[in-house]
Amino acid sequence: MASTEGLVPITRKFLASYYDKHPLPPLSDDVSRLSSEIRSIAFDLLKLNESPASPDESFLAQEADRQPPHKIDENMWKNREHIEEIVFLLEKSHWPPPLQQPSTPEHSQLATVFDNLRNKFQKILKTLESFQSQNSERVFNTVMTYMPQDFRGMLIRQQRERSERNKQAEIDALINSGGSIHDRYALLWKQQMERRRQLAQLGSAAGVYKTLVKYLVGVPQVLLDFVRQINDDDGPMEEQRQRYGPPLYSLTMMVLLIRLFLSLAWGRFENCKLDRHHVGVLEQAVDVYVHEFERFIAFISVVFANSPFFISAEVAGAFEARKNDDFKEISIPAGKSHEVSLSVESLNSYIAWDFSLTQSKMNLDIGFSVEYIDSSGQKTVS
């Protein structure tokens, strides 16, 4: 529903009307069929008395008995984690010894198969990483088009860059301390949730953004409302989850089962010979998963890139500037002073202030100071 000025309320209902025009083509029936076959083979391996399950194998088996996460981006991170774990398992140095130095034609053939599978997973891993990076940048840059292109917008960009550097330093420290792939992805998801909180803070004018956003001019309220509620349980993204979540959940489960199968096969390679049928099912499952996941990413990339989350910055900015009651322009005569009182969260809060001097033949200067008074009445001057 659009207003006369073209200002579109960004709601779940509005997104639904857009998604109606972009139905996701159904996944191949092979996804369900091969997932069931891989599950059956994997759990048969798990039941072998000769090789009790390791803690990691038990954890994966328990995860395979649960529903995948509900959020789209959490599923993307789960797929990425499982893919990277599979690539790790398929590196030659992690193969069972008989495959690392094959002494039979059968082992040589298996080595070739697993080498090809690793290449396929490495390719889809790069595709997924690129999608996540581009999607993150697109969302942030779209939000920033609604911010004044001056020092206020620069402050928000600097805050994000500083935050991202700190996040990368956390990851580097974890890797250097010997953290596992699972540990790294647990941290990556924690950081993703932190990005969500920062986006919500921007929309709510809270935290570091409180004073800055309150005095921004031309920021459409619809944008602030959207970034505040974008990830609510029943907010706009819930429509996305309802439409495109189920096929993604199937792919998340499929790659988890492939990982479980490989993990169990490696641990039981000496005691349980992999027959050609099992390997054939694995090859089919990998081919179907990679193809369907690539297709899903390609589809969702286009849908997300064109989703009408935000309206024209020019139209919205002009519309809101006319309605904004918080903005006041004050002319201060030479020799006079003007004082403004603001409530802030702490001594280190950001305050954005813009002023200009009228051109004249005289040299002009302006005095500017900030005083902070805490709850006890103590004053700090800067």
Domain residue spans in the chain?
Answer: 12-146+218-320
pLDDT at 312: 45
| pLDDT above 70 (res 294) | yes
pTM: 0.74
Tell the burial category of 78 from Cβ atoms under 10 Å away from its Cβ (0-12, 13-18, 19+): buried
pLDDT at 331 over 90: no
Q: With residue 379 as reference, give the H or E element that holds it.
A: strand 379-381
Beta-bridge partner residues of 381: 371
Judge whether residue 319 has pLDDT over 60.
no
24 token code pair: 């996701």
| 170 vs 165: CA distance, rounded Å | 9
> Looking at residues 235-239, what average pLDDT do you find?
79
The pLDDT value given to residue 49: 62
pLDDT recorded at residue 376: 74
pLDDT > 80? residue 330 = no
Unique residue bearing structure tokens 């020019």: 314
Q: Which residue has the higher pLDDT, 154 or 125?
A: 125
| Structure tokens, 25 | 């083509």
> Residue 6 above 60 pLDDT?
no
- Asked whether the predicted pLDDT for residue 332 surpasses 60, the reply is yes
Tokens 């996540």 correspond to what residue?
132
Phi and psi at 79, nearest 5°, equal -60, -45
d(CA 379, CA 25): 64
In the structure, what pLDDT confidence band is assigned to residue 195 with cuts at 50, 70 and 90?
confident
pLDDT at 243 over 90: yes
Which pLDDT belongs to residue 3?
A: 32
Q: Which residues pair with 373 in a beta bridge?
A: 379
- Whole-number Å distance between alpha carbons of 211 and 233: 27
Is the confidence at residue 44, as pLDDT, over 80? yes
pLDDT given for residue 373 in this prediction:
78
pLDDT at 324: 47
Select from 94, 132, 130, 133 the least CA-distant residue to 114: 94
More confident residue, 324 or 94: 94
| Sign (positive or negative) of CA dihedral 200, 206, 210, 215 | positive
- Of 82-86, 229-233, 236-240, 316-320, the one with minimum mean pLDDT is 316-320
